Amino acid sequence: MSKDDRRQALVRAAFNEIAERGFEGLRTREVAGEVGVNIATLHYYFPTKEALIRGVVELAMERFRSTLAPRGSSAEQLRDHLRAVRRLLAEEPELGAVMAELALRSARDPNLARIMEETTAYWHRTVRGLLRNAVRAGELRPDLDSDDVAAIIVATLTSMTLPAVAGAGRADQALRQLQVWLGMSFPTN
Amino acid sequence: MSKDDRRQALVRAAFNEIAERGFEGLRTREVAGEVGVNIATLHYYFPTKEALIRGVVELAMERFRSTLAPRGSSAEQLRDHLRAVRRLLAEEPELGAVMAELALRSARDPNLARIMEETTAYWHRTVRGLLRNAVRAGELRPDLDSDDVAAIIVATLTSMTLPAVAGAGRADQALRQLQVWLGMSFPTN
Amino acid sequence: MSKDDRRQALVRAAFNEIAERGFEGLRTREVAGEVGVNIATLHYYFPTKEALIRGVVELAMERFRSTLAPRGSSAEQLRDHLRAVRRLLAEEPELGAVMAELALRSARDPNLARIMEETTAYWHRTVRGLLRNAVRAGELRPDLDSDDVAAIIVATLTSMTLPAVAGAGRADQALRQLQVWLGMSFPTN
Amino acid sequence: MSKDDRRQALVRAAFNEIAERGFEGLRTREVAGEVGVNIATLHYYFPTKEALIRGVVELAMERFRSTLAPRGSSAEQLRDHLRAVRRLLAEEPELGAVMAELALRSARDPNLARIMEETTAYWHRTVRGLLRNAVRAGELRPDLDSDDVAAIIVATLTSMTLPAVAGAGRADQALRQLQVWLGMSFPTN
DNA sequence: AATGAATGAGAGTTCATTCAT
DNA sequence: AATGAATGAACTCTCATTCAT
């Protein structure tokens, strides 16, 4: 197993631990154990717990950003994006959980705050671009403020990472209403 | 200082600690220290850390629910509610932080999950009721699905507890768009 | 409840706790709780835990010595004594447990050691006296060394306070053999 | 120092602590300190205090059982055994103290009770075997009930672990009487 | 590149004791 | 005579980190 593979394996294990137990329950020994290496080996790859966490941040950002990349024909992109984020959170709830953990942690970690802000801003711009394309393509009303709508879309999708809020079908209701207001249709369940 | 006051003081100190450092950084000794009592005194009031946390949950729920109580004339209630939640999160960001911490923790704590679900459901019903009133009063379009709209309102407001998402004015943009779609006006900054 | 009664109640509760959990598990709060008084009240009667233990020592010695008092006709006294100790340990195993705890503790507590030594010596003398009476009455062989026989009787009876040793019928076997060697008969089960 | 040596050192230190202060006074930090390691190191070898105690139980049983192993010519074995136990308790009073502590603790620990019972039963059978050999060799009266005599021998020897009982020469007196009744001679002091 | 062994600092919890009332 | 409230000291146990090999 190459040096890089091992690093990756450790980061993924840490990622899963955070998803499952939160930062509150993250234990380096547990991470090392899941990869099947000694705790000292973990420290060979990551001198401190903080360094390992930085690795998790990178992984989370990468995974999340790769979901944002617009795909398919321009007309379908907005629909696709909403669908993609929705599917992502359904199929990989760990990513949502980790993103939420990171969002909370960023309140205490300026460095992380910067990264999270960059990612959110990038997401916001991406959605705004999709909205503008859709307006241009005549699929959305031209008087729509793409900045504000992008904000409410990001907000709505984000709230889905908090199970306590999104539960009992409320996530789907919110998405359905988004579709109504946008005058477009995409599956919500 | 009465027994109840001291209990309250401890819970409030724990509340603040969680807001500031997250569950990750909650230390009973720190909580006791902030109230100016010995760690053993904390355990006199709360046999375990978990019991103290339950006290924090109660406090958070109480604080949050008290914000929900509809006030003023029926026609203004929806506007008032959005304004109130917005002001709450601006003036007491700790409550938002704690609520988000609890939302995340509820994924690992079935008991807490139940409480959080109840509170969210109550909030959802409250907003739905306000929407119905507004529809009845002719202030909102009659074809509006009050369940779905309530969901997106709750989702949007909830996302404001995650600073990483709500930053850079995006919270206000989302609220502004909400107002546009609802066809009502309320201050957003 | 008189001051003395309360003292007695506390000592008895402590006695029972020691019998049940050993000195290892003796907790003043538990003792107070069993009597239904506050822990501070216990300290009103006994300034320290050590003082309470001294009370237990007194109680145990008193209970034990009262068993030793020879009763009945002189000819039957030895038989009676063995029977009495045996019954005592069967009916009040707590006393045996406490005596054993005290015997062990006396290795670390010179004061207690003195008390235990006095009690054992008194017991030894008592048995020796009974043996001499029996010899004089022609009930035992005249060449018997009453000091040595008293020692083995005390030793055998003492070993019965250690359940790990006396179990599986071995206590009764030992007593039966004692009777054989003494040429007397008394019930062993 | 090998891993096994360190384990042994810790167990021995715990053994000595128990002998000196009883379970009541057993402190993991003290044990670690005596071996010259950090308390965390102790927990590296023994996850819990209970696990360390299990180590002490094993050591005590091993030490005790090794004393029981019959040695020398068949005719001398009984004599040797009594002499060996007597010397053991004289030269290593810690073992007697620990055995007595374990005997008491077994009343509250079913697992330990099983182990103690097994050891006592093994001891009893060993002594009984020696008695039968001696009878067969014509050294003891043939009408002797080896089971009952074994019981009183075990009881007498056991009582010697309680200094409060065995003191003032009574242990030797009891042993001397045993020799008289058995019709054999062995040194008692 | 990897690990077994070790540790300092600190975690939550317990307990005998104190003191104002 | 009795107690609720409070505490210092100590307990077992945990954890990220280090280091010799």
pLDDT band at C188 (very low <50, low <70, confident <90, very high): very low
Kindly report which listed range (B29-38, C90-99, D68-77) carries the lowest average pLDDT score. Answer: D68-77
User: Which phi and psi angles does C139 have, rounded to 5°?
Assistant: -90, -15
Cα→Cα distances B76→A9, B17, B33, B63, B134, Å: 55, 36, 44, 22, 8
Which pLDDT does position B74 carry in this prediction?
60
Which pLDDT does position C72 carry in this prediction?
61
What domains can you pick out in chain A, each with its CATH number?
1-47 (1.10.10.60), 56-182 (1.10.357.10)
Which pLDDT does position C153 carry in this prediction?
96
Q: What percent of chain C has pLDDT above 70?
A: 94
Indicate if the pLDDT at residue A187 is higher than 80: no
Residue type, C36: G
Which pLDDT does position B78 carry in this prediction?
86
Which pLDDT does position C187 carry in this prediction?
47
Which pLDDT does position C189 carry in this prediction?
43
Chain E nucleotides with an atom closer than 7 Å to a protein C-beta? 1-20
Terminal CA-CA length for chain C:
41
From the alpha carbon of B7, which nucleotide's C1' atom is closest? F5
Identify all chain A residues contacting B173, using CB atoms and an 8 Å cutoff.
147-148, 150-152
**Side-chain half-sphere CA neighbours of C158 within 13 A:** 35
Reported as a single tens digit per residue, the pLDDT across A62-119 is 999 888 876 665 557 888 888 888 888 889 999 999 999 999 999 999 999 999 999 9
Which pLDDT does position D72 carry in this prediction?
61
Comparing every residue's Cα with the C1' atom of nucleotide F19, the nearest one is A40
pTM of this prediction?
A: 0.93
The pLDDT of A48-61, averaged and rounded, is: 98
Chain F nucleotides with an atom closer than 7 Å to a protein C-beta? 1-20
The pLDDT of A30-37, averaged and rounded, is: 98
Q: What percent of chain C has pLDDT above 90?
A: 69
The pLDDT of C24-48, averaged and rounded, is: 98
Q: How far, in Å, is the CA of C41 from the C1' of nucleotide F3?
A: 7
User: Which phi and psi angles does C65 have, rounded to 5°?
Assistant: -65, -35
Indicate if the pLDDT at residue B43 is higher than 50: yes
Identify all chain B residues contacting A166, using CB atoms and an 8 Å cutoff.
155
How many other C-beta atoms are found inside a 10 Å radius of the C-beta of residue A101? 24
Among B82, B94, B96, B87, smallest CA distance to B160 is for B96
Interface of A with B in 86-125 (CB under 8 A): 97, 100-108, 113, 116-117, 120-121, 124
Indicate if the pLDDT at residue B53 is higher than 90: yes
pLDDT band at B189 (very low <50, low <70, confident <90, very high): very low
The pLDDT of A122-128, averaged and rounded, is: 94
Task: Write out the two tokens for B104.
Answer: 């995340």
Reported as a single tens digit per residue, the pLDDT across C121-130 is 999 999 999 9
Q: CB under 7 Å from any atom of strand E: which residues?
A: A 1, 3, 6, 37-41, 43-44; B 26-29, 39-40, 43, 47-50; C 26-29, 39-40, 42-43, 47-50; D 1, 3, 6, 36-41, 43-45
Interface of B with A in 143-182 (CB under 8 A): 145, 147-152, 154-156, 158-160, 162-168, 170-171, 173-174, 176-178, 180-181
Cβ distance B100 to A162 less than 8 Å, yes or no, reads yes
Among all residues of chain D, which has the CA nearest to that of C153? D174
Which pLDDT does position B83 carry in this prediction?
87
Which pLDDT does position B80 carry in this prediction?
85
Among C93, C5, C3, C101, smallest CA distance to C53 is for C101
Indicate if the pLDDT at residue C75 is higher than 80: no
How far is the C-alpha of A158 from the C-alpha of A155, rounded, in Å?
A: 5
pLDDT along chain D (189 residues), means of 10: 91 98 98 97 98 98 87 72 88 96 96 96 93 88 93 96 88 92 65
Which pLDDT does position D185 carry in this prediction?
59
How far is the C-alpha of D181 from the C-alpha of A140, rounded, in Å?
A: 112
pLDDT band at A189 (very low <50, low <70, confident <90, very high): very low
